[in-house]
Amino acid sequence: MLVSNILQFLAIARPLDCDRMEFFIYAEAFAALVKLEIVLVTGAITTITVLLRKPETRAAAITMLGKTVELCINLLHDKCDPLALQELWGVLSTVRFSYH
């Protein structure tokens, strides 16, 4: 239930230039759950990758990725499926931020 509530809040459509403080704590909570291995690291990266693909969830996804890397770098290195990381890098390479 907790993970579902966090992801539901992070998946709300927002403009790219939104105030990230609104969801910063949710992204940190998500990363903490990954660190505790309540959320599996490969699943977390897959979720972040899905959210990165859509402009309306990209700001949250970037924040989630940053917090997950900050808190879980060892898990990413030791336990994340390399194919999930490769897919993440592929999606990240196509992300372009533009502010109007």
Q: What is the pLDDT of residues 24-62, one digit of tens each?
A: 999 999 999 999 999 999 999 999 999 999 999 999 999
User: How crowded is the C-beta side of 67, counted as CA atoms within 13 Å?
Assistant: 23
The domain ranges of the chain are: 23-90
What is the pTM for the complete model shown?
Answer: 0.90
| Alpha carbons 45 and 36: distance in angstroms, whole number | 15
Most confident stretch, 19-23, 51-55, 92-96? 51-55
| Alpha carbons 70 and 67: distance in angstroms, whole number | 5
| Alpha carbons 12 and 15: distance in angstroms, whole number | 10
Return the percent helix, strand and coil in the chain, to nearest 5. Answer: 70, 0, 30
